[in-house]
Amino acid sequence: DQQVKQNSPSLSVQEGRISILNCDYTNSMFDYFLWYKKYPAEGPTFLISISSIKDKNEDGRFTVFLNKSAKHLSLHIVPSQPGDSAVYFCAASAGGAQKLVFGQGTRLTINP
Amino acid sequence: EPEVTQTPSHQVTQMGQEVILRCVPISNHLYFYWYRQILGQKVEFLVSFYNNEISEKSEIFDDQFSVERPDGSNFTLKIRSTKLEDSAMYFCATGDRVSAGELFFGEGSRLTVL
C-alpha cells in the first residue's frame, strides 16, 4: 500500500534554516491531509492539517503547502529549532472517512 | 493538556496467548481508533469505533481481533491468539469529530510475541 509516500527517510538541517519535508500521494479521493510529529517512545502528535480546498495553511513556524495537480504536499518549518528533531509523518484521509493513511515518515535532525 | 493513556507500555507474550491492550480516551471524545506500527514500517489503521460499534476496519483486523468499551471509559483491543507477526507498537487514538481530523494518540503499547 503506497498511497502516501515520503521518499526521504531522513533530513538534516542546520538550526535557524528552513526544513522542508515532502509527501506524495496517489489516491485522488484524498481530501484532507495532516502532518504528525513523533518523538521516540511517544505517540504521534498532531502538527498541522490542510483541506483539499486550500493550497496553503500556516500555523506559526509551520506551513503546509498542497499541490493537488501534482498530488504533492510539503511541510515547511522556519526557523528550524533543535526541538523540531523528530520523525514527521504525512497522513491523508478520503471523503470524511475516519481512517488515516500514513506515509513512512521522515526523520528530521536539526543540527546546532 | 488532556491525553490518551495506554496500558501496558510493553507486553511480552507467547504465541497463541490472548492479549488485551487498554486505552483511556480523552473524556469528551467519542471516536476511538487503534493503529499499529510494525518495527520499521508505516503506522497502519486497524479499526475505528463509535457509539459502541465498529465503524470501519482494515483488512488487518481479522477475526483474531476485537474491540470494546465495556465500562464506558476503557477502550480495549483484544488479540485472541497472538502470532509472531502481531509484534508491533499499538497506538490508541481518539477524536471529537466524525471525520478524520486531528486525532490524539497515546504513547503506545509495545507487544512482543515470542
Per residue in A76-109, pLDDT tens? 999 999 999 999 999 999 876 678 999 999 999 9
| Cross-chain CB nearest to B107 (options A43, A46, A99) | A43
pLDDT at A97: 67
Using the predicted structure, report yes or no on whether residue B48 has a pLDDT greater than 80.
yes
Residue A21's contacts (CB-CB under 8 Å, 6 or more residues apart) are: A6, A8, A11, A35, A74, A75, A77, A88, A90, A106, A108
B56 forms beta bridges with B48
Tens of pLDDT, residue by residue over A8-50, are 999 999 999 999 999 999 999 999 999 999 998 889 999 999 9
- Interchain contact, B56 vs A100, CB within 8 Å: no
pLDDT at B101: 67
A30 forms beta bridges with A94
Q: What are the start-end ranges of the E strands in A26-95?
A: 30-38, 45-51, 56-59, 62-67, 72-77, 86-94
Q: How confident is the prediction for chain B on average, in pLDDT? A: 92
- Interchain contact, A43 vs B105, CB within 8 Å: yes
B49 touches chain A (CB under 8 A): no
